[in-house]
Structure 1
Amino acid sequence: MNTTPKVLLVDDEEQVLKANRQWLELSGFSVICCNTAKAAINELQQGFIGIVISDVKMPGMDGFALLEQAKTINADLPIILITGHGDVSMAVEALHKGAYDFIEKPFDPDRLKERIQRAQEQLQLKIKNQQLRQQLAEQSGISAKLIGESKAIQQVHDEILALANLDTPVLIYGETGCGKELVAQCLHEYSQRANKPFVALNCGAIPEALFESELFGHEAGAFSGAQKLRKGKLEHADGGVVFLDEIESMPLHLQVKLLRALQSGEIERLGSNRLINLDIRVISATKINLKDAGDFRQDLYYRLNVSEIFLPPLRERTVDISLLFTYFAQLAAEQYQQPVRVLAPSDADVLTHYAWPGNIRELKNVATRFILTKEKAVVDLIHSPSEKELVTEPERVSTGLLSLSLQLNQYERQLIHNALIQHKGNISQVMIELDLPRRTLNQKMQKYGLNRLDYLNK
């Protein structure tokens, strides 16, 4: 991605156009000049990608008409309007029509530079988001199911494809929320048993009193409340795959019975003496080291661990985070019929630096809340699900598992946010309260995605 900002500068005054072009080029921008809005439209139609800066008052087509037509050509291009003091109310209205920002005359060149840089960051994020969506759309096979481009997840892809048709028991290791069941489903889908049942059983979610019945089934009258025959999970999976998640939670006395069933290929329902032959593949998953677990039978461990797959935690595959976040955000937008939001630069930084203790499950939840909340930044969404309100006092900022630098950034952002609310977007008053020079405050607001226009009517 080209990091040199491209600027389309539109102004009918030749001297102003020339002066602004010289200053912007000295500041490191690539500049295209147009002295009419019509000429600017022609540049946009030829595929210009960058920042559009236009004067409002021009003969013929003015800046507002340019804004309207530009948005029909490329709705993602940031458009900054330059306006006289008396046109501020109109410029604010233009923001509601899609303008990125406006600057009042006369303006500080450094201020314009900061606005361009911030707009460029937003544009690059939009382009990256489009590329990620395109990348997702082009994926097929196992890459479309187990998403990721990191070496770690590519190795998992290779292991799944290598083990799928071996029909051996597989033990999947991974932290909570890593997607162990998805790996098991892929092993099933790419195997010769793909057209047979895939039956999942979470061993940690079944009361011990019901476990044996869930696993092996029961005859009518086998115990109080057993009014009719019921097939167990193992029998229901005959010909296919049974997935035993959180296998470490299986009661010890049932581990013996499961081992016997796997060794013999036969089970008995509760209340029956009839042996039932089974043809199943067992895939298990655990978040602990079963070999060293004192309450897990070693003979069962070796029976289940003929082949193994280690699923890496999200913090070890940070290159995949943006792709996964885009995928889950897109799913949430489609499910809840909401527009897809664009991440602020500070949001993208938080995503890659957060530890993600809940792994992919937590990332999916944050992506969904990001779509539904519409205004909150990612840093404000990375909290426990019960923490539903935006933090409004700095002392209440949650540390979670954020690094020290991100905790400080969150605290600083909240201070500036609070000051902007208190002074209704009055930058001069915010500068006084926080004892910050204008340039520093602008840089920090840009960093944290804070726009004073959002606070004018609060």
Structure 2
Amino acid sequence: MMMPGRVMLVDDEAMVREATSQWLELSGFEVEAYEAAEAALARITPETDAVLLTDVRMPGMDGLELMREALQRAPDLPVILLTAHGDVDMATDAMRAGAYDFIEKPYVPDRLVERIQRACEKRRLTLENLRLQQNLASRSGLDARLIGISPAIQRVRNELLALAELDTNVIIYGETGTGKELVAQCLHDYSNRARHHFVPINCGAIPENLIESELFGHEAGAFTHAAKRRIGKFEYASKGTLFLDEIESMPLNLQVKVLRALQEHQIERLGANAPIPVDLRVIAAAKVDLRDDPNFREDLFYRLNVSELHIPPLRERIEDVPLLFAHYVHRGAVDHDREPRTLSDHDIDALQSYAWPGNVRELKNIAIRYAIDPRASLVDLLSRQQQMQFKPVVTRPNLPLAVQVADYEARLIREALEKHRGNIKAVMEALDLPRRTLNQKMVRYGLNRADFTEE
């Protein structure tokens, strides 16, 4: 059975020290007893995992001086003072100076145990959060960007570093919100193309009638409203990396042109005849296995699938959740000028018990809400989030037509926000809605753009 905590007991009276030690040990505590304050002080460090329980009146260094010196070495160390009845005013001043608590002699043993238990819990949580922060602070390079200690994320980091050197095309597979674009950016940054552009494009967020121009560019007058020449993503990414996200949504007719560009290493702008050579690495990302997609060309798949990288969902790397959450809470606190918040044991249990269907993107959003609202309970945030999870639409013929229409409309807007990752302009185009109308409907259905944006 786990000990409830460790106590550093300091008392110059042997009988009191022995009796108190025995009682605490019977209550489950690990006890280190000291006759003199100096001996206890020598054992205190910033990482001391204990509560300091000390008598006030002792020869040599007394309890108050011991407290001051101990808090210099370990500022968050809980110090409980044992005081005689006449020392209450002095003990009150000590509380202002940093003491965790004081207990008058003679004390009720059960009350002493209760207060020490609370102090031990506080110390344990303080050290746990300190370890999380130190873990984050000590990370550098790829460890600081793909955060985690799980075997799954370690595998991703190792495979990424190996692939970065090869300069081959790559397909990244992963569920929504797992960080595919971040992984693609890391592949670029650790490759020999890092000095040139990393150019991301979401194939599912651009209307079909515009995506060819986005990829290949156009000359002035190539089509209506083409007032001037535009450089496309392929050309702009030359010597660098082109990232094609949600490539499974790319129209079939465009897949042919992309395949030709990759085979011939050249493109033509719309409205032009002269080919333009391009030298780039293509990284594609998909939520589904392209081998099983009947709408994805097999020849393009093999052109892209020189290498594969699979990003695990958060539920398969659950041991990374507290570290990731602490990272985003810290970032949220800094960005919004808030005091950093710490996590209790109960909070960590709740984080690791949640399924995280939205993966890291969902975790980031909840962490920022938790960071900026000091009144927010993490358990309540997770509970509300679970209630908001998208559910299959079911027909409810017993409801009025207006209610059923509203349900259907809310679902369509949710799906568009999810598909376009909160890009309001893309949602407006996809649903053919003016900005004001879309805003009004999002407010009516309780839809928040921040819940759909990429991490």
TM-score, structure 1 as length reference: 0.73
Q: Distance in 1 between matches of 2:387 and 2:96?
A: 34
User: Cα 1:98–1:400, aligned 2, differ >3 Å: closer, same or farther?
Assistant: farther
Alignment root-mean-square deviation, CA: 3.5
- Please list the CA deviations of residues 14-69 of structure 1 after superposition, one character each: whole Å capped at 9, or x if unmatched: 65444322201223323244578777656547985411234678899987776555
Q: Which amino acid aligns with 1:260?
A: R
- Please list the CA deviations of residues 82-136 of structure 1 after superposition, one character each: whole Å capped at 9, or x if unmatched: 5789999998887676544566777553443344334333323332333333333
SS in 1 for 2:53: strand
Q: Which runs of 5+ in 1 are unaligned?
A: 386-396, 402-458
The answer to whether the aligner puts 1:316 opposite 2:316 as a matched pair is yes
Q: Which amino acid aligns with 2:223?
A: F
Q: Which amino acid aligns with 1:345?
A: D
Partner of 2:253: 253
Cα distance, 1:268 vs structure 2: 1.4
Q: Distance in 1 between matches of 2:365 and 2:89?
A: 39
Q: Which amino acid aligns with 1:297?
A: R
Q: Which amino acid aligns with 2:219?
A: E
Alignment of 1:136-175 (within 5 A): 136-175=136-175
Q: Distance in 2 between matches of 1:86 and 1:336?
A: 47
The total of aligned residue pairs comes to: 389
Q: Distance in 2 between matches of 1:48 and 1:133?
A: 17
TM-score, structure 2 as length reference: 0.73
Q: Distance in 2 between matches of 1:148 and 1:272?
A: 48
Q: Distance in 2 between matches of 1:293 and 1:88?
A: 76
Partner of 1:50: 50
Fraction of identical pairs, as percent: 56
Q: Distance in 2 between matches of 1:66 and 1:144?
A: 39
Asked if the contact 1:218–1:269 (Cα under 8 Å) also holds between the matched residues in 2, the reply is: yes
Partner of 1:205: 205
Q: Distance in 2 between matches of 1:244 and 1:326?
A: 31
Partner of 1:393: none
Partner of 1:306: 306
Q: Which amino acid aligns with 2:20?
A: N
Partner of 2:21: 21
Alignment of 1:191-340 (within 5 A): 191-340=191-340
User: Cα 1:26–1:306, aligned 2, differ >3 Å: closer, same or farther?
Assistant: same
Q: Distance in 2 between matches of 1:318 and 1:128?
A: 17
The answer to whether the aligner puts 1:372 opposite 2:368 as a matched pair is no
User: Cα 1:139–1:76, aligned 2, differ >3 Å: closer, same or farther?
Assistant: same
Cα distance, 1:342 vs structure 2: 2.5
Higher mean displacement: 74-83 or 277-286: 74-83
- Please list the CA deviations of residues 311-366 of structure 1 after superposition, one character each: whole Å capped at 9, or x if unmatched: 10111112222222233233334334444332111011112221111211222233
Asked if the contact 1:150–1:320 (Cα under 8 Å) also holds between the matched residues in 2, the reply is: yes
Asked if the contact 1:6–1:50 (Cα under 8 Å) also holds between the matched residues in 2, the reply is: yes
Q: Distance in 2 between matches of 1:90 and 1:72?
A: 20
SS in 2 for 1:315: helix
Asked if the contact 1:122–1:345 (Cα under 8 Å) also holds between the matched residues in 2, the reply is: no
User: Cα 1:86–1:369, aligned 2, differ >3 Å: closer, same or farther?
Assistant: farther
Q: Distance in 2 between matches of 1:320 and 1:105?
A: 46
SS in 1 for 2:143: helix
Q: Distance in 2 between matches of 1:161 and 1:231?
A: 31
